[in-house]
Structures are given as structure tokens and as C-alpha cells.
């Protein structure tokens, strides 16, 4: 009974007209074919039409068509009936001449109106100069190296340190692939890598290489930033493919054997690309003031959200670095805030996309400042320097000076403290509640001559105390001046403080759950600490020489192993599937503990 009622409802729904559809007439074909190959040109219409006409196809031969098919479907969603109709017109074409072609729109009549399709772009490549050898398929063995191979190609082979380049991995095949079973990627320890995200899956096209036509697909693209200069070697990439091959069968004993027997088998084929050499030039040594590690074509802009404020009102200074370059590796600009302003650490925001030319977008630093006294204050021009690889030189930009007028606030009254600063009022000192000091009226005790402290032996001995303190402070100050003159020694002494400051940023990313930024900041903090502590430039620092110098500095093998483990974890965790905050918190504590152990063991 239920089935009968459901049938009646469906029949009634079919009688109800659906919502009118706009006419859609679209065409599609393969994006690339070889000369002499046959391919389908398909047009789809969502209404009934007639008199389909193709454009003039001088470089293609129409072998068959149109063959027409029809399909319809009805659906009921929330009581609304919708019906979809599709008419398909298929033509078989043959490519006659090599080149890049755009097929003009086809036309068809719908309700006595002419409707045009979209234009279609087709690339025709040269066909095979020699026929494909099918002997390996017949035998079921792995295909020849000429039938399946990969290439790994850099966009540039000569770059500056910090300049981006793109590494593209392509698959060339004349056989049918059934998937990948194993991939061995090169270790890019001398580079910082970023993934270039493209379309999901591999988009295949056709290319003619040395007289043979291949299906070609881009498997992967990576954006590389070399971190040291010199001749850098990139090891080959290895991929193991699953190749689907037709099996040559012996004469079957019955028709059922033919019916159930599989006509295909899968074999494995491991292919290997060629090694690559990248020549990395060091950045020039004449680095200008304000250089913070930027490489590319960049711009800097500085602004405040308001120039007139009251005492204790917040002011936001925004510095934006935009353009194309290595944004994520640029450090904060140096800013001289007015002495009467309280300033806070910058809030950093990255709005960056990885492109074939590098990181494109902007990096924003936001500083909160709070003026504590009234007056007119000026923030000196902010200088930003970067290296432009196209020009082969450093470029420097400077903002205009920023003037901020601070007006006296309602709450800034002298009565809140015993003394008011000279720059706030015209009085040097003001006693609150005591306009007159009263004369003492009590009895005064007199002392005989010779009993006063002044002129006594104790008085003269006490004069030696400030003199001794002055000599001691002079010696300490001279020693400090010598230490400050030795920049390397100062970097070594301040390495721990700088590392702790950098790890505060990592703690912020840990709280907000920004995984990639957290691991990058831990990596920068540890590399920066090792560079300062070991007195090695960051561009010359690697796992090998860092481990060797630490060993020479009497650092225990356990601590060295911990350092290398943290570096490896950060390198791989940035591109691994998302890990929990528990693992990130454990790594953060491990990093702090390891730096503390190093401080106790390295004596410099």
C-alpha cells in the first residue's frame, strides 16, 4: 500500500512543472592532443534544441557526428520539484596540424532563438616519430625508461642568498599509471621550503619530446629560499609508479576462462631524476643601516591611527612591508620611540601567498604606544633596507617623521603625587599641603668645641670612602667599555636573553594554535642562539658544523643530540599533518631546557 501511494506521489510530482531554467550550451574537449590523434568534441545543452552548427575547422577533420544522447532527472527537495534535462552532441575529430588553436563558439536553435556555446582552446603537439614499442606490455615487464620518466627543474640556477626559486617536478608517461607506491624526496637542509599550492590532483597535458608524444603532469612545485651561499647540490627525486599493463594470454581452454580472466596486471617501475646544482651568491657585505633580512622587490609604509591624543590614550603605529620577497624571514624594523612613551612588543600579521615569484603580499607590524606626558613628540623616520636581486644592490626606503601632539588629560593633576615633573608644570618642586615650614620651638642641645664630627679623624677617613668607590666604578666602567667594543663577546653574552625573547613569540603562537608559525619561531630562536653563542654567521651555520663546534666547546653528547632532535622536529613538523598542542608544548619546554643546559656547559 505504501509503495502504491509513493508511486502516485511521484507521478503527480512529475506532472508539476519544475522551475524554468536558463539556457546553458557548453562545449568541451581535451586540452591537448597529438597530430593524427582522434578526440571527442562534446556540446551539452540543458533544453531541447535543433540545427547545431559547428564553426569552420580548417585544421581539424570531422570524422563523425553529431551523435545525440538525452538524459533527464527529477528531484524533490523540501517540497520543491526540480527537473534537469541534458542533451549531448558528440563529434569525433582528427587533429591535422601542430599548433595552438581556439575553436570559435558553436550555435544551436532553442525556441527559435540562436544560442552560442563557449570557445574551446586546444593545443596540438607533434605526433610520435616512431611507433610505441608494445613488447614490454606483452611480456608484462616494467616499461622502458623512455616510456616513463620524471624531471625536477629549478626556475633559476644562479640566485642570491635568500632569493626564491621554484623547483618543479614533472611526470612524463606513455603508459597507463595506476598510482604511486613510494616517493623519496631529497633533503633540502640548505633551503627553507614552502609549498606552492595548485589544483587538487595532477592536470595532464601533452608534450612532444625528441619526436615522442607524452602525457605530462606537474606532480609538485616547491618554493625554495637558500640560506647559505656557495655551490648547493640537490639530490635526485625517486618515485615508484604502479603501471597498469595489458596481459598477453595464451589460447583459452573455454569461453568462461576468457570471460573471467583479467586482461590487465600492475607492475612497479622506479624512476629517478637527475641531480641539480644551484649556485648561490652571497649578499654584498656593505649592508646599510636598517637592513633586516629582506630580499626581493619590497616597499615599506609607516603610519599612526591618530596624531592628536590625550595623556594615557593609546596610539597604534603600523609598519607595513609589502611586495614580493621573503616576507616570513624579515625581522622587525628598528624604531626609536619617544622617551615619554610606553611602547609594547609588535603584533605581527602575515597576509602572504606563495607564488612562483616568491612570497607575495604584506607583513604588518603593529606597535601600541601610550604617551605619559603632554607635549609635542616626533618619531624619527623609520628606515627599511632590503636587497633587490634584479638590481644586484641594496635599496633603502625611509618614512616621513611622524609628529604626535599629546594634550593634557583630565586625570593628569598634580595632587596625585608629592612632586610634579618640571616638564609638566613650570615649577620645579611643589609641596602638597605644606606651604610654610614652621620654626622649631623646642630646646636645642649645645655641644662643646672639639666634639663635632667635622674636622675629626672619622670625618677625614669618611672622605676616602667616596674616593674609593669612584676608583672602583671607574675600573668597572672601563672593563664594560672594552666588552661593549667587542661585538662578538657581547653577542655571546646576550645570546640567552635574545633566545628567550624570540621564544616568547613562539609561546604566543602556541597559545593561538598557529602550528607553522610556532615551529618556524622555535627554529629561528634556536638557530639564532647557536649563531650568537658559537660566534658563527647564520649563513655559514649548519647541523654539521654546529655539532662539531658544540663538541669542541665541551658540550655533552646528550645535549647535542637534544639540539639536533629539536631542529629535525621543527623542520618536519611544519609540513606534517597537524599535531596537537600537547606535542607543541612539550617541544617548547624541551627547547628552553636545552638552551639552559647549553648556557651551563658553554664557557666563552
Q: In what order do the strands lie in the sheet with 158-160?
A: 158-160, 276-281, 230-234
Question: Using an 8 Å Cβ cutoff, are 500 and 569 in contact?
Answer: no
Tell me what the mean pLDDT of segment 285-305 comes to: 90
**pLDDT at 95 (0 to 100):** 85
Percent of the chain with pLDDT over 90: 20
**pLDDT at 168 (0 to 100):** 92
Say if residue 278 is exposed, middle or buried (CB neighbours under 10 Å; 0-12, 13-18, 19+).
buried
Tell me what the mean pLDDT of segment 227-239 comes to: 91
Instruction: Kindly indicate the confidence band of residue 386, based on its pLDDT and cuts at 50, 70 and 90.
Output: very high
pLDDT higher at 587 or 362? 362
pLDDT (tens digit, 9 = 90+) per residue, 401-438? 999 999 986 655 443 333 333 333 333 334 434 445 55
C-alpha of 348 from chain center: 14
pLDDT higher at 189 or 11? 189
Q: Within 10 Å of residue 547's Cβ, how many Cβ atoms?
A: 17
**pLDDT at 297 (0 to 100):** 92
**Element counts in the chain: helices (H) and strands (E):** 10, 31
pLDDT (tens digit, 9 = 90+) per residue, 6-58? 455 544 444 444 444 588 888 888 778 888 777 888 998 888 888 888 888 88
Cell of 203: 592536470
**pLDDT at 404 (0 to 100):** 92
**pLDDT at 204 (0 to 100):** 83
pLDDT (tens digit, 9 = 90+) per residue, 474-496? 888 887 777 655 544 555 556 66
**pLDDT at 322 (0 to 100):** 93
pLDDT (tens digit, 9 = 90+) per residue, 327-347? 888 998 989 899 889 888 899
Distance between CA atoms of 276 and 278, rounded to whole angstroms?
Answer: 7
Distance between CA atoms of 18 and 20, rounded to whole angstroms?
Answer: 6
**pLDDT at 415 (0 to 100):** 38
- Is the model's pLDDT at 571 over the cut of 60? yes
**pLDDT at 383 (0 to 100):** 92
- Provide CB contacts within 8 A for 574, sequence distance 6+: 515, 516, 519, 520
Nearest to 188 by CA among 543, 587, 550, 565: 543
Q: Residue 450 region, left (φ>0) first, then alpha (ψ -120 to 50), else beta? A: left
C-alpha of 427 from chain center: 57
Nearest to 69 by CA among 40, 96, 98: 40
Distance between CA atoms of 116 and 252, rounded to whole angstroms?
Answer: 53
Tell me what the mean pLDDT of segment 440-446 comes to: 64
Q: How close are the terminal C-alpha atoms of the chain, in Å?
A: 93
Mean pLDDT of the chain: 78
Alpha carbon separation from 266 to 183, 252, 495 (Å, rounded): 18, 21, 58
**pLDDT at 416 (0 to 100):** 38
- Is the model's pLDDT at 266 over the cut of 80? yes
- Residues in the chain, total: 604
SS3 464: helix
- Provide CB contacts within 8 A for 234, sequence distance 6+: 152, 154, 167, 186, 188, 275, 276, 277, 278
**pLDDT at 14 (0 to 100):** 46
Q: Which of 204-208, 237-241, 383-387 comes out lowest in average pLDDT?
A: 204-208
Q: Which of 86-95, 213-222, 474-483 comes out lowest in average pLDDT?
A: 474-483
pLDDT higher at 542 or 354? 354
**pLDDT at 2 (0 to 100):** 52
Long-range contacts of 1-5 (CB under 8 A, 24+ apart): none
- Is the model's pLDDT at 398 over the cut of 70? yes
pLDDT (tens digit, 9 = 90+) per residue, 500-524? 777 778 788 878 877 778 888 888 8
Cell of 355: 607564488
Instruction: Kindly indicate the confidence band of residue 315, based on its pLDDT and cuts at 50, 70 and 90.
Output: very high
Instruction: Kindly indicate the confidence band of residue 129, based on its pLDDT and cuts at 50, 70 and 90.
Output: low
**pLDDT at 60 (0 to 100):** 87
**pLDDT at 248 (0 to 100):** 59
**pLDDT at 246 (0 to 100):** 74
pLDDT higher at 567 or 366? 366
**pLDDT at 34 (0 to 100):** 81
Amino acid at each position: 500500500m505504501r509503495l502504491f501511494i509513493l508511486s502516485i506521489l511521484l507521478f503527480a510530482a512529475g506532472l508539476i512543472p519544475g522551475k524554468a531554467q536558463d539556457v546553458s550550451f557548453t562545449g568541451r574537449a581535451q586540452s591537448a592532443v597529438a597530430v593524427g590523434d582522434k578526440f571527442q568534441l562534446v556540446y551539452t545543452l540543458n533544453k531541447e534544441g535543433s540545427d547545431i552548427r559547428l564553426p569552420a575547422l580548417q585544421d581539424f577533420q570531422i570524422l563523425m557526428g553529431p551523435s545525440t544522447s538525452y538524459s533527464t532527472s527529477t528531484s524533490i527537495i523540501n517540497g520543491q520539484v526540480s527537473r534537469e534535462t541534458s542533451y549531448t552532441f558528440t563529434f569525433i575529430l582528427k587533429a591535422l596540424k601542430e599548433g595552438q588553436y581556439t575553436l570559435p563558439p558553436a550555435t544551436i536553435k532553442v525556441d527559435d532563438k540562436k544560442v552560442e556555446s563557449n570557445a574551446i582552446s586546444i593545443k596540438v603537439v607533434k605526433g610520435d616519430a616512431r611507433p610505441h614499442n608494445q613488447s614490454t606490455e606483452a611480456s608484462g615487464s616494467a616499461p622502458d625508461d623512455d616510456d616513463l620518466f620524471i624531471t625536477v627543474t629549478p626556475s633559476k640556477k644562479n640566485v642570491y642568498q635568500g632569493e626564491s626559486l621554484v623547483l618543479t617536478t614533472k611526470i612524463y608517461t606513455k603508459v597507463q599509471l595506476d598510482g604511486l607506491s613510494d616517493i623519496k624526496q631529497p633533503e633540502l637542509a640548505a633551503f627553507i621550503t614552502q609549498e606552492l599550492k595548485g589544483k587538487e590532483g595532477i592536470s595532464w597535458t601533452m608534450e612532444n619530446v625528441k619526436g615522442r608524444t607524452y602525457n605530462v603532469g606537474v606532480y609538485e612545485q616547491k618554493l625554495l629560499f637558500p640560506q647559505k651561499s656557495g655551490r648547493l647540490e640537490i639530490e635526485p627525486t625517486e618515485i615508484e609508479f604502479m603501471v597498469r599493463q595489458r596481459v598477453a594470454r595464451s589460447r583459452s581452454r573455454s569461453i568462461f576462462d576468457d570471460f573471467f580472466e583479467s586482461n590487465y596486471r600492475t607492475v612497479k617501475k622506479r624512476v629517478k631524476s637527475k641531480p641539480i646544482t644551484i649556485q648561490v651568491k652571497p649578499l654584498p657585505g656593505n649592508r646599510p643601516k636598517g637592513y633586516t633580512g629582506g630580499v626581493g622587490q619590497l616597499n615599506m609604509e609607516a603610519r599612526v591611527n591618530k596624531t592628536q591624543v590625550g595623556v594615557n590614550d593609546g596610539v597604534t603605529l603600523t609598519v607595513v612591508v609589502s611586495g614580493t620577497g621573503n616576507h616570513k624571514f624579515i625581522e622587525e624594523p628598528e624604531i626609536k620611540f619617544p622617551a615619554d612613551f610606553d611602547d609594547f612588543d609588535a603584533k605581527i600579521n602575515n597576509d602572504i601567498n606563495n607564488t612562483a615569484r616568491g612570497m607575495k603580499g604584506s607583513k604588518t607590524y603593529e606597535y601600541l604606544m601610550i604617551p605619559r606626558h603632554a607635549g609635542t613628540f616626533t618619531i624619527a623616520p623609520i628606515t627599511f633596507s632590503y636587497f633587490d636581486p634584479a638590481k644586484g644592490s641594496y635599496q633603502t626606503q625611509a618614512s616621513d617623521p611622524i609628529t604626535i601632539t599629546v594634550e593634557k588629560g583630565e586625570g593628569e593633576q598634580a595632587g596625585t603625587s608629592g612632586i610634579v615633573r618640571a616638564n609638566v608644570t613650570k615649577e620645579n618642586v611643589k609641596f602638597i599641603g605644606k606651604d610654610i615650614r614652621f620654626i622649631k620651638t623646642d630646646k636645642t642641645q649645645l655641644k662643646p668645641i672639639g666634639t663635632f664630627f667635622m674636622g675629626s679623624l672619622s670625618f677625614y677617613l669618611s672622605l676616602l670612602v667616596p674616593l674609593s668607590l669612584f676608583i672602583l666604578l671607574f675600573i668597572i666602567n672601563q672593563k664594560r667599555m672594552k666588552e661593549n667594543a667587542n661585538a662578538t663577546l657581547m653577542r655571546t653574552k646576550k645570546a640567552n636573553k635574545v633566545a628567550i625573547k624570540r621564544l616568547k613569540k613562539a609561546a604566543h603562537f602556541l597559545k593561538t594554535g598557529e602550528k607553522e608559525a610556532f615551529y618556524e619561531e622555535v627554529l629561528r630562536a634556536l638557530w639564532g642562539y647557536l649563531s650568537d653563542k658559537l660566534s658563527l654567521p647564520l649563513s655559514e651555520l649548519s647541523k654539521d658544523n654546529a655539532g662539531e663546534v658544540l663538541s669542541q666547546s665541551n658540550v655533552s653528547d646528550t645535549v647535542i643530540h637534544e639540539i639536533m632532535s629539536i631542529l629535525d622536529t621543527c623542520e618536519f613538523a611544519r609540513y606534517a599533518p597537524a599535531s596537537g598542542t600537547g606535542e607543541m608544548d612539550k617541544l617548547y619546554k624541551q627547547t628552553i631546557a636545552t638552551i639552559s643546559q647549553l648556557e651551563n656547559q658553554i664557557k666563552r
